[in-house]
Amino acid sequence: MSNLNTFQMSSLNKLQKVYVIKQDGSLLERRYVDNKNTTCIVTYDLETKQPADSIILGYDEKGNLLSAKTYNFVEGKYEADELLTVGNYYLQAYSKDSSCNNLLLIKHSFLMEEIISKICSIQNSVLPNGGEVSSFSKTKQNKEIIEISCSEINARFNNPFDVFQLYFHNQLLISFDLQIKNGYLIKETYSFSDGTFTRAFFYDEAGELKKSVADIKYKNEIGKKITKLYELE
């Protein structure tokens, strides 16, 4: 898949920034950004240190997202991923019109597009009783902290969200809680039938995301912490 490498090499001359995301000290992602639009994402296998896949996002002159093409790294080269569901996932996450109404309070989503899109997907999900999750959510403000919460969800989600797929697969989501400060998502908490997932976000003085710390706790097992660092290369 030579045209992917050609894209990356030629793009380095015009892209303004490259962000590196590390998980517990190991390279996880490299994101290429042009005028706050993410144009290419290269993900890496934490164990082998090799590329895992790449996503190329295409925009029009006004910055509207037009396409999302995905590629898998197989035997030393990139091959096109023909699954439309993967491309559609990134189209939804990086489209400027993808935010759901309940998350309009989050004004700053740069480097967090996928996280916010996944939260939005949960809120737009239909529960077994026929109602949307968002219809059960409540918003309250305590000084400068705005909290969005939803309880008594009691449902399983087939959602491509790391929280559900990696740590609490096929478990009931009981409730969730989001904390927003001055337009920034600073904390998210999900309570499951067998544990909790909490993730805190930290920003620099300019408002860019610098670190996230996830705390996974199980009722009958030892949990784990995962730290991600976001750096300008």
State the pLDDT at residue 84.
Answer: 66
The last residue of one of the domains, among 98, 119, 147, is 98
Residue ranges, the chain, pLDDT below 70: 1-15, 83-85, 97-99, 101-102, 158-161
CB of 137 closer than 8 Å to CB of 149:
yes
Residue 188 in tokens: 């998210």
Same domain assignment for residues 190 and 121: yes
Indicate if the alpha-carbon torsion angle 94, 97, 100, 102 is positive or negative.
positive
Nearest Cα residue to 37 out of 5, 3, 4, 67: 67
Residues 81 and 134 in one domain: no
**Overall size of the chain counted in residues:** 233
Q: Please give the tally of structural domains in the chain.
A: 2
Alpha-carbon span 142 to 124, nearest angstrom: 25
Phi, psi angles (nearest 5°) of residue 140: -140, 155
Find where tokens 């992602």 sit: 29
Same domain (yes/no): 228, 157:
yes
Instruction: State residue 132's pLDDT score.
Output: 85
Q: Is 31 helix (H, G, I), strand (E, B) or coil?
A: strand
pLDDT, tens digit, for every residue of 149-191? 999 899 888 665 677 778 888 889 999 999 999 999 999 999 9
Question: Which has the closest alpha carbon to 57: 108, 23, 96?
Answer: 96
pLDDT reported for residue 80: 83
Q: Are residues 115 and 213 in the same domain?
A: yes
> Can you give the pLDDT at residue 95?
80
119 and 228 in a single domain? The answer is yes
- pTM value? 0.86
Residues 45 and 112 in one domain: no
Q: What's the pLDDT at 161?
A: 63
Same domain, 128 and 201: yes
Check residue 14 and give its pLDDT.
57
Q: Which of 64, 98, 132 is the last residue of a domain?
A: 98
Task: Answer yes or no: do 131 and 231 share one domain.
Answer: yes
Show the domain range for 202: 106-233
Do 60 and 122 lie in one domain? The reply is no
- Residue from 116, 111, 114, 65 nearest 232 by CA: 111
